[in-house]
């Protein structure tokens, strides 16, 4: 493509958008023109103090497109994980389920990495690949015939054979295409913080199911953890507004002291939780990926990884079409992407919704039922291995990039 015409324009320069751009450039070379447009490109994402779990399949994707080596030193392997179920005031938290081992020899089922490190490396890789990066939002998309006219907020106008919405849960591209979402708000919020502690976590992740919701302790490099702490919306707002001493007391009651004294590092952040899925992942000349297509509960740590699975599937569909000389934005090409991803997304969304409803309650009867269920899973090694591979993104119709295969 030449001039103001591109093959693919990606609205959104977060993890999903940059990863897709790099995957396409690595597979199809500079003759396949890719533009990424995002007003917050690099600068705002680089300030993100949050951390994300990168499961084995996503790590393979990043290794295949030449990104993982640059962030591996900042990534903490999750070597094992334990699940408990207790009331807040219980002195002892019995472990009902424990996961350990690798998905393959020497390959942990997940790593934790701080968002700022990954997005910086992705942006640097995108620049090195010659991808057109524009610090402007997509204002309007007008599909007409064999391309779409895309207006950017800075006044630029481009023609793109395919527009990819990677612009988050409140996607302007999705709304402009008239694609509605269905789902619900949980009435819960996640308090997200990083903490330092005296003793080494030894790569262990812990998820404590408390009546208000899960309290997850996820290991970071050094003697630090990322905390994802679920409360009702009202309680979450109350807790984060507490003075430092009172907040520390609430945190310590949940974190406990087996890793020694703890200290909050950085800002306290609150994120409302819900389950929302777009009624269609495609429209004329448009495809949705990541949070623009779906938002799920963080109870299983799959939100980002589902978005990267979208990226891997869409990249494979586009590359297959381009190599056959087909239009990457044609309806039949996009239908293949939707068939691949929408059922899997709904299945994972329903599973996480069910887990949240089962564990985020104060019913003693349900507590007995779920603890018996966890105990049964603990005693069936093959089922545990299947669950680990499912969480690692390695079950079902796995895209090539998640298998570590070059497109």
Residue 179 has pLDDT above 50, yes or no: yes
Sheet containing strand 95-100, strands side by side: 95-100, 80-85, 204-210, 213-220, 224-232, 181-197, 262-278, 294-295
Which are the contacts of 390, defined by CB distance < 8 A and separation ≥ 6?
A: none
The pLDDT score that the predictor gives to residue 376 is: 62
Give the pair of three-digit tokens for residue 339. 């068939």
Question: Exposed/middle/buried for 145, CB within 10 Å: 0-12, 13-18, 19+?
Answer: exposed
Q: What is the mean pLDDT of residues 177-183?
A: 96
Instruction: Look at residue 212 in the predicted model and tell me its pLDDT.
Output: 87
Question: Between residues 209 and 377, which one has the greater pLDDT?
Answer: 209
- State residue 209's pLDDT score: 85
- pLDDT band, residue 202 (cuts 50/70/90): very high
Residue 299's pLDDT band, with cuts at 50, 70 and 90, is confident
Q: Is the pLDDT confidence value at 183 over 50?
A: yes
Is pLDDT at 196 greater than 90 in this prediction?
A: yes
Q: What is the mean pLDDT of residues 219-241?
A: 96
306 token code pair: 């589902």
Mean pLDDT of 44-69: 89
pLDDT, position 370: 65
How does the average pLDDT of the chain come out, rounded? 90
The residue with greater pLDDT, 230 or 361, is: 230
Residue 2 pLDDT > 50:
no
pLDDT at 73 exceeding the cut of 90: yes
359 has a pLDDT exceeding 70: no
Over the chain, what HEC string results? Answer: CCCCEEEEEEECCCHHHHHHHHHHHHHHCCCCCEEEECCCCCCCHHHCCCEEEEEHHHHHHHHHCCCHHHHHHHCEECCEEEEEECCCCCCCCCEEEEEECEEECCEECEEEEEHHHHHHHHHHHHHHCCCEEECCCEEEEEEECCEEEEEECCCCEEEEEEEEECCCCCCHHHHHCCCCEEEEEEEEEEEEEEEEECCCCCCEEEEEEECCEEEEEEEECCCEEEEEEEEEHHHHHHHHCCCHHHHHHHHHHHHCCCCCCEEEEEEEEEEEEEEEEECCCEECCEEECHHHCEECCHHHCCHHHHHHHHHHHHHHHHHHHHHCCCCCCCHHHHHHHHHHHHHHHHHHHHHHHHHHHHHCCCCHHHHHHHHHHHHHHHCCHHHHHHHHHHHCCCCCCCCHHHHCCCC
pLDDT classification of 91: cutoffs 50, 70, 90: low
Say whether pLDDT at 371 is over 60: yes
- What pLDDT sits at residue 86? 77
Task: Give the pLDDT band (50/70/90) at residue 163.
Answer: very high
Torsion angle of C-alpha atoms 59, 194, 216, 43, degrees rounded to 10: -50
| Threshold 0.85, pTM exceeds | yes
Average pLDDT over residues 215-242: 96
Residue 207 falls in which region: left (phi positive, over 0), alpha (psi -120 to 50) or beta? beta
Is the pLDDT assigned to residue 274 strictly greater than 70?
yes
Percent of the chain with pLDDT over 90: 71
- Which pLDDT score, from 0 to 100, does residue 247 have? 97
* Stretch 279-307: mean pLDDT: 91
**pLDDT at position 95, please?**
73
- Please determine, for residue 124, whether its predicted confidence score (pLDDT) is greater than 90: yes
Give the residue-averaged pLDDT of 95-104.
78
pLDDT of residue 363: 62
**Averaged pLDDT for residues 91-105:** 76
Q: 11-15, 87-91, 229-233: lowest mean pLDDT where? A: 87-91
State the pLDDT at residue 273.
93
Calculate mean pLDDT across residues 249-274: 93
The Cα 16–Cα 32 span in angstroms is 19
pLDDT above 90 for 270: yes
Distances (CA, A) of 125 to 65, 72, 130, 158, 271: 9, 15, 9, 23, 29
Report residue 97's pLDDT band, with 50, 70 and 90 as the boundaries.
Answer: confident
């Amino acid at each position: 493509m030449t001039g103001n015409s591109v093959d693919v324009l990606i609205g959104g320069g977060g993890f999903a958008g940059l990863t897709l751009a790099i995957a396409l450039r690595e597979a199809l070379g500079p003759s396949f023109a890719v533009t990424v447009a995002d007003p917050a490109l690099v600068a705002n994402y680089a300030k993100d103090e949050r951390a994300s779990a990168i499961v084995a399949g996503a790590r393979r994707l990043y290794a295949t497109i030449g990104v993982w080596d640059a962030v591996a030193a900042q990534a903490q392997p999750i070597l094992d994980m334990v699940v408990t179920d207790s009331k807040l005031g219980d002195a002892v938290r019995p472990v009902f389920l424990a996961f350990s081992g690798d998905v393959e020899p020497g390959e942990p089922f997940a790593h934790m990495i701080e968002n700022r490190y990954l997005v910086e490396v992705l942006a640097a890789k995108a620049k090195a690949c010659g991808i057109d990066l524009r610090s402007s939002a997509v204002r309007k998309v007008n599909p007409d015939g064999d391309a779409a006219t895309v207006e950017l907020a800075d006044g630029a106008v481009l023609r793109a054979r395919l527009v990819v919405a990677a612009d988050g849960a409140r996607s302007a591209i999705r709304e402009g295409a008239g694609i509605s979402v269905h789902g619900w708000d949980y009435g819960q919020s996640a308090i997200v913080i990083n903490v330092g502690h005296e003793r080494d976590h030894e790569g262990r992740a812990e998820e404590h199911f408390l009546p208000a919701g899960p309290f997850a302790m996820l290991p970071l490099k050094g003697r630090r953890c990322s905390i994802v702490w679920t409360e009702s919306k009202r309680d979450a707002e109350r807790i984060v507004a507490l003075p430092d001493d009172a907040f520390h007391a609430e945190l310590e009651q949940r974190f406990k002291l087996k890793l020694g004294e703890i200290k909050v590092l950085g800002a306290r952040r609150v994120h409302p939780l819900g389950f929302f899925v777009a009624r269609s992942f495609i429209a004329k000349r448009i495809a949705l990926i990541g949070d623009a297509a779906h938002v799920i509960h963080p109870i299983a740590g799959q939100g980002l990884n589902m978005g990267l699975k979208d990226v891997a599937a869409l990249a494979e569909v586009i590359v297959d079409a381009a190599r056959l000389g087909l239009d990457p934005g044609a309806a039949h090409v996009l239908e293949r992407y939707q068939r691949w991803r929408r059922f899997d997304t709904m299945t994972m969304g329903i599973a996480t919704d069910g887990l949240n409803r089962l564990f985020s309650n104060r019913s003693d009867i349900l507590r007995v039922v779920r603890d018996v269920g966890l105990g049964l899973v603990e005693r069936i090694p093959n089922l545990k291995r299947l669950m680990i591979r499912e969480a690692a993104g390695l079950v079902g119709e796995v895209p090539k990039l998640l298998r570590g295969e070059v497109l």
